[in-house]
Amino acid sequence: MITEQIKQLLLGIVGAENYDDSKVECLVHSYDATPGYQAMPDAVIKPGCTAEVSDIVKVCNAYKIPIIPRGSGTNLSGGTCPMEGGLVLLFNRMNALLEIDEENLTATVQPGLITLDLISAVEAKGLFYPPDPSSMKISTIGGNINENSGGLRGLKYGVTRDYVIGLEVVLPNGDIIHTGGKLAKDVAGYDLTKLMVGSEGTLGIVTEAILKLIPTPETTKTMLALYQDLDAAAQSVAKIISNKIIPVTLEFLDRPTLAVVEDFAKIGLPTDVEAVLLIEQDGPLEVVERDMKRMADICLEEKAVSVEIAETEADAAALKTARRTALSALARLKPTTILEDATVPRSEIAKMVRAINEIAKQHDVNICTFGHAGDGNLHPTCITDARDHDEMERVELAFADIFAAAIDLGGTITGEHGVGAMKAPYLEWKLKKEGVAAMRAIKQAFDPHDIMNPGKVFAKESRKRVVVSS
């Protein structure tokens, strides 16, 4: 609870115009993009620099006030929902692109910078920042770092962690540390940079980041492969990878997803097939043409009914934009849309797709599936209504079975959305008790008062695993 005394201390740091404890402001920041999770914070605060963040944290640490760092609230695991009240930190005032260093191929940014703004700025200089979460038009770099966000280009280029090479972090006691730097090599001590990336705001607050950039690819081509058989599409993914071709993008959409995306985007997507693969490759022209031809041949060998290469950049951009709108399109169908993610080895994609469909039938729920098939990261998405309590119970059981199926296939409960509050009860399924205990020890060492985004990652108790699907 933030008493009047604590409030005055915080006002003294940021000024009255950057502190708000009104019911309206607290309500706005009581939830994120995760259905079913909402809790009121005590106040919202907007620091303007690292020193102010440090001073805020020192006050919160002294009085054991929970702190929830928040970007744009696009989180899909309840990771920015203030489950135990406290103070929500917004970074609207810390949103600068501080530097693009063309000699060292780095960008230095503040956490509130919008992801697409960074991408556009570096592309204007002939450089490339690959991480491209579907929410990139509104998500922030700080949020991407906290969740280790992925994206459509993750198969070839990796995820956010692969491009964060240095951080400025405020620790839970208010200390400011700097990790990494503009370095190609650095093995001085523990890799605290990588530890912070994906820690979901539970270990510290990122106030500045140094990001690796790469040269812009010379050429890019995109194609669409159509299938009347889900298994054939999944087998195509496995065969492309086994042929040692790593495309930039290798996305999967099933028929229900196709139908709603086309209704939303209206770009001429086929809706009379069971699945499509959206495939993109970049690099030198001769390599791209060779890879595209080989991938087209593989898709046809695996019973694709047709393979079409986008003729223009505009056509290719429309296809990728349509894929990014999948969640928005599905969200129009019913009041509640639950988009999950589970990841399996690439070789197990076909089994995982079948398992999701079988589980949906078993629990009588409507699940559409799309996702980053090339890296095994699928997004089973349930269209439902939170007011239907019976159906919501079946939805929860279905997703529990999906997580179990992913683990049984050598996968994990989340590939890019994070654990947050939603998946905390399932974490032990993946890491076992010993793994969770090791993580708790790290958390305790950094944050003994448990003020940093409490109620996330670590559930009070693990969900009992009753049904296992395969």
List the pLDDT tens digit at each of the 470 positions of the chain: 899 999 999 999 999 999 999 999 999 999 999 998 999 999 999 999 999 999 999 999 999 999 999 999 999 999 999 999 999 999 999 999 999 999 999 999 999 999 999 999 999 999 999 999 999 999 999 999 999 999 999 999 999 999 999 999 999 999 999 999 999 999 999 999 999 999 999 999 999 999 999 999 999 999 999 999 888 998 899 899 999 999 999 999 888 888 888 888 888 888 889 999 999 999 999 999 999 999 999 999 999 999 999 888 888 888 888 888 888 888 888 899 999 999 999 888 888 988 999 999 999 999 999 989 899 999 999 999 999 999 999 999 999 999 999 999 999 999 999 999 999 999 999 999 999 999 999 999 999 999 999 999 998 888 877 644 44
For 343, the enclosing helix (H) or strand (E) is strand 342-343
DSSP β-bridge partners for residue 114 = 140
Determine contact, residues 422/147, Cβ cutoff 8 Å: no
Structure tokens given for 102 = 């063309």
Place of tokens 């990336």: 197
pTM value? 0.93
Say if 4-90 and 217-329 have the same CATH topology.
Answer: no
466: left (phi over 0), alpha (psi -120 to 50) or beta: alpha
d(CA 292, CA 309): 9
Q: Which CATH architecture has domain 334-469?
A: 2-Layer Sandwich (3.30)
DSSP β-bridge partners for residue 308 = 224
Determine contact, residues 226/304, Cβ cutoff 8 Å: yes
DSSP 140-159: BHHHHHHHT---TTHHHH--
Domain boundary assignment for the chain: 4-90, 97-215, 217-329, 334-469
**DSSP assignment, residue 217?**
P
* pLDDT score, position 469: 43
Largest CA distance in the chain: 71
Domain 217-329: give its CATH code: 3.30.70.2190
Domain 4-90: give its CATH code: 3.30.43.10
DSSP 405-462: HHHHTT-BS-SSS--TTTTGGGHHHHHHHHHHHHHHHHHHHH-TT--BSTTSSS-SSP
d(CA 321, CA 48): 34
Structure tokens given for 298 = 């593989």
Name which CATH class applies to 97-215: alpha beta
